[in-house]
Structures are given as structure tokens and as C-alpha cells.
Structure 1
Amino acid sequence: MSTFFQFVIEGLTIGSFYALVALGYTMVYGIIRLINFAHGDLFMVGAFVGWTALSVLAAAHLPLALALFLAFAVAMLATGVLGVAIARVAYQPLLRAPRLSILITALAVSLLLENGVLIAYGAGFRTYPHLLAHTGFEVAQVHITFAQIGIIAASFALMIALYLFVHHTFIGTAMRALAIDQDAARLMGIDVERLIQLTFFIGSALAAVAGVMEGLFYTQINFFMGFVLGLRAFTAAVLGGIGNIPGAMVGGFLIGLLEAFGAGYVSSQWTDVFVFGVLIAVLVVKPTGLFGERVVERM
């Protein structure tokens, strides 16, 4: 049983990254019905911005807590602004165009981000400073590190904060109205374009948090890291019910647990088979996911 619970801790840690990125997928889809395939690459950009910030701050010999806070803040701000720029330049002009046009644009933006980071930082791995000690404690022979507790707790806190923001604030109410009917929301005086940009900012900032946390935990990053993680986070969003915030949270943790159990009990080489097998199964059996929203079909 100790091995089982060890895999649970590892799965929740991995699932924290997936859940934060899945929230961006589900928010954008809920607002403009777009599968933003560039979102995984925003996670990667956030990781590189955090690495750059920490490299600069390390030379300034700032206290660890302050350096981490500034690195997260810079990564969230820079990636959030990049997300808004992508929304304004690439997506918003195509909102009235056929769905295929905006989908192809999302793939093009993904390739642009990957190759932009490749040109800027090179193809090699970049190593984060070893700031998170992997010390911790044991409970019933299950080793839990303080870094894992911090990652899981921070992810839960951010996800709960997002849920409260969407469901208990005026702006969140406007977002939910926009998700139901853009034209009606516009007639009610809601600034649709600005809300779409705000949605991209929040989703991109959450992806940046996940990128910096993964960089700190695993210490190595590269320009291609967002591709596979983005697909797994998309699977998590579909599993939970894309467009549903609690569903994205649950889906992220379930995919993380599936990956940990698959790697631990079978082989790490089969994790992609398990994860994307779940994606196929959900799309075939229950396309709306575990907590899928009810969608009204419009002619």
C-alpha cells in the first residue's frame, strides 16, 4: 500500500501542472469555443521567462522568497500579456470566420512560439537553479516532500480562486454571460473584446505558473516541453468536461494519477498510450466529459 500512496502523491504533483494548464483550455473554449492548441506553448514560454528572471535575480543575491515571488510575477505578467497579444492579433479577427480558420491559426501560433523560443534560447536544455530542496517527511513509508506539498497546495489555491472569481464577481458573471451568448452579452453593454482578452490573460498567467513550478521541481526545461504537456492538459480538460472549471481541475488530477500509476505499475514508455487512450475513450463514449456542460444547439 505504501507504493500505491507514493504513486498517488506523484500523480497529484504531476496533475497540478496539467490542471492549471487545462484551466486555460477550458476558459478559452467556454468563452469563444476555441481549442487553443498554442496554450501548451504558453506554458513553455512561462517556464523560460521564469528561468530568465531567476537567472537575473540570482545575480542580485535577493532572498529566496522574494526571488521566487518576483520570478512568478514576471512570468505571469509577461505570458499573460503575450496571451492577450495573441488573442488580439490572431484570434479575435477570426471570430466570425469558419471554425477551421481559427483552428489552423492556433496551430500556426503554436509553431511560431516553439520556433521563437528555439531561436532565442537554442535547442539545448536550460537548468533552473536548485532552489527547492527535495526534503520532506514520511507517513507510513510514503515519502512526501515539502516541494510537492507546496505545488499541490498552490495549485488548489489558484484553482479555487479562479472558481470564486468566475462565479462570485461582476466580471465573472459577465464572462459566464459571454459564454452563453456573445451577441446578447454585447447588447447588454458587456465589452466582449476586453473580456476575451482578460480570459486569455488569466489562462496564460496560470499556464506560466505551471511552467515555473515544473521548472523548479524538475529543474530542466526545453523549447518542446509544451507540446506533449499541452496535449495531456487538453485531454484533462476533455475528460473533466471542456468549458467546466471544476471539471478541468478534476481531469488534470485524474490524468496525473493515471500517468503515475501507468509508469509505476506498467512502464513509463506506455504513459502516452494510457493518457491518449483515455482521450479517445471519452470522445467516443461521453464527449461531454465527466462534468460536461449542457450546450444548446443553434441553427
Structure 2
Amino acid sequence: MEILFQQIINGLVLGSMYALVALGYTMVYGIIGLINFAHGDVLMVGALTSWTVVTLLAASGLPGWLVMLISLACAIVICATLNFTIEKVAYRPLRSAPRLAPLITAMGMSLLLQTLAMIIWKPNPKPYPLLLPTDPIHLGGPVISVTQVLILVTTAVVLTALMFIVNKTKLGRAMRATAENPRVAALMGVKPDMVISATFIIGASLAAVAGVMWAANYGTVQHSMGFLPGLKAFCAAVLGGIGNLAGAVVGALVLGLVEAIGAGYLGQLTGGVLGSHYADIFAFVALILVLTLRPQGLLGERVADRA
């Protein structure tokens, strides 16, 4: 039971980080129907930006939590600017093109960001400094670190703020209107281009937070670190129902729990043939099962075709 509870904690932490990235995918898809495959690499840029700032402030004598906060703010600014530029330069000119064109552009942008990051930060992995206390918090048998507590709390606060923005603010109403029908929304005074840019900026900010949390939790950063989290976060968004904010969160938490619990028991279930390093297969097996049994996702709604 202790192992099970420990893996549940690990799964919630992992799912929380997936949720931050999955929300960026689902927001963009919900408004313009685009799968931004470069989104995981925005996470990578945020993590490497944070590492740069933390390294520069290492000898400043500032408290670790303040250094992390400063690096997080810098990462959000850089990632928001980057995603705003990507949308304006790479995606906006293709908004009326066939869907395959922006999809290929997104893949190309992902490779471009990885290559630029490799040139700027070099390809070798870099250790992320320990900024928070490392003494574990004991919960009976299971333990949780201060960094993991911070991840859970930060994710809960960010998700609450995002739901408030989407459901209670003027910008949120404009987002929902643009997602429903951008032409009609424009006739009602909404500026779709501004709304879409704001959506990319919010998604990039969430990815930056996820990147800093990922780096602090795993203690290493490199130019290719965003690919797998981005792919799994996309799976989580599809799992929960692409375009549905609550579905992205639920899908991410389910995916994190399945992956963590599966990793804890994979060796026992296979008689030692497969180890915990094969845990990545659970994300895609879960995705295949859900899409086979419920193609619209866990919280997605079936959309009827109109004549």
C-alpha cells in the first residue's frame, strides 16, 4: 500500500505538469483548430531560460525561492514573446490554408526551436541547481518533496486563475465567442486576431511554468527535453477531449496516474521483463484504448454534422 500511495503522489505531480502543457494545446485547438506541435519546445525554452537566470544569480546570495521566482518571471516573458512571434509569423499567414499546411509548419517550428536551443545552450544536458529544501515531507509511509508540493500548489492556483479568466472575464467571453464562430464574433466587436494572440501568450505562459517545474523536479535541462512531455501532454488533451479545458486537466491527471502506477508495478506484472523505464508505453496504450472506446475523449462531446 505504501508503494501504491507513493506512486499516486508521483502520478498527481506528473499529471499536474502535463496539465499545464495540455491546456495550451487544447486552448489553441479550441479556437483555431490547430495542433501546435511546437508547444512542447516552448516548455524547453522556458526551462533553459530559467536555468540561465538561475546560473547568473547563483552567486547573488538571494534566497532560493526568490531566485526561482525571478527565473520563472523571465521564462514567462521569453516564452510569451516567442509564442506570440510564432503565431504571427508562422501560423497567421496559413490560417485560411488547408489544415495540413499549418500542421507541417508546426512540426518544422518544433525542429527549428530545438536546433536554435542546441546552438544557444549547447547540446549537453545541464544540471538544474537545487533552489528549495531537499528534506522530504513524510506522509506516514510515502514521502513528498517541497518541490513536488510547490508543483501541486502552483498548478492548482494557475488552473483556478485560468478557469476564472475563461469563464468570468471579457477576454474569456471573447475567446469563447471566437471559438464558436470567429466571423460572427468579429461582427459583434471582437477582434479575433487579438484573441488568438492572447491565447498563444497564455498557453506559452503555462508552458513556461511547466518547464520550470519540470526542471526543478528532475534536476536537468537540455534542448530536446520538451519533445516527450509535449507529446504526452497532447495525448492528455486528446484523452480528456481536445478543446475542453476541464477535459485536458482530467486527461493529464489520469495519464500521470496511469504512468506512475504502471511504472511502479510494471516489473512485477511482467516478471522482470520490462522495467520502469518502459513506463512511456502506458500513455499511448491508454490513448489508444480511450480513442477506441470513446473517440471524443473522456469529457468531449460528440458533435453532430449539420446539413
TM interval, short-chain normalised: over 0.9
Q: Does the residue aligned with 2:255 lie in a helix, a strand or coil?
A: helix
Q: Does the residue aligned with 1:98 lie in a helix, a strand or coil?
A: coil
Q: Does the residue aligned with 1:59 lie in a helix, a strand or coil?
A: coil
Match of 1:292 among 282, 291, 300: 300
Deviation at residue 298 of structure 1 after TM alignment? 5.9
Q: Which residue does 1:275 correspond to in 2?
A: 283
User: Aligned pair 1:12/2:20, yes or no?
Assistant: no
Which amino acid counterpart does residue 21 of structure 2 have in structure 1?
V
Q: Which residue does 2:272 correspond to in 1?
A: none
Per the normalisation by structure 2, the TM-score is 0.94
Deviation at residue 296 of structure 1 after TM alignment? 5.4
Q: Describe the superposition over 1:200-233 as per-residue Cα deviations: whole angstroms up to 9, x where unpaired.
A: 0000110010101111111101111111111100
Identity %: 48
Alignment partners' CA distance in 1, 2:181 and 2:80: 25
Q: Which residue does 1:245 correspond to in 2?
A: 245
With 281-290 and 183-192 compared, the bigger mean Cα shift is at: 281-290
Per the normalisation by structure 1, the TM-score is 0.96
Q: Which residue does 2:152 correspond to in 1?
A: 152
Alignment partners' CA distance in 2, 1:269 and 1:160: 33
Q: Which residue does 1:52 correspond to in 2?
A: 52
Q: Which residue does 1:21 correspond to in 2?
A: 21
Give aligned pairs, total. Answer: 299
**Is this contact kept in 1: 2:147–2:216, CA < 8 A?**
no
Q: Which residue does 2:62 correspond to in 1?
A: 62
- Structural RMSD (CA): 1.3
- Flag the 1:125–1:215 CA change in 2: closer, same or farther, 3 A: same
Which amino acid counterpart does residue 299 of structure 2 have in structure 1?
F
**Is this contact kept in 2: 1:244–1:293, CA < 8 A?**
no
**Is this contact kept in 1: 2:67–2:131, CA < 8 A?**
no
Q: Which residue does 2:204 correspond to in 1?
A: 204
Q: Which residue does 1:234 correspond to in 2?
A: 234
Q: Which residue does 1:35 correspond to in 2?
A: 35
Deviation at residue 129 of structure 1 after TM alignment? 1.0
Which amino acid counterpart does residue 288 of structure 1 have in structure 2?
Q
**Is this contact kept in 2: 1:19–1:252, CA < 8 A?**
yes
Which amino acid counterpart does residue 169 of structure 1 have in structure 2?
T
- Flag the 1:80–1:214 CA change in 2: closer, same or farther, 3 A: same
Alignment partners' CA distance in 1, 2:22 and 2:4: 25
Q: Any stretches of 5+ residues in structure 1 without a counterpart?
A: none
Alignment partners' CA distance in 2, 1:89 and 1:61: 40
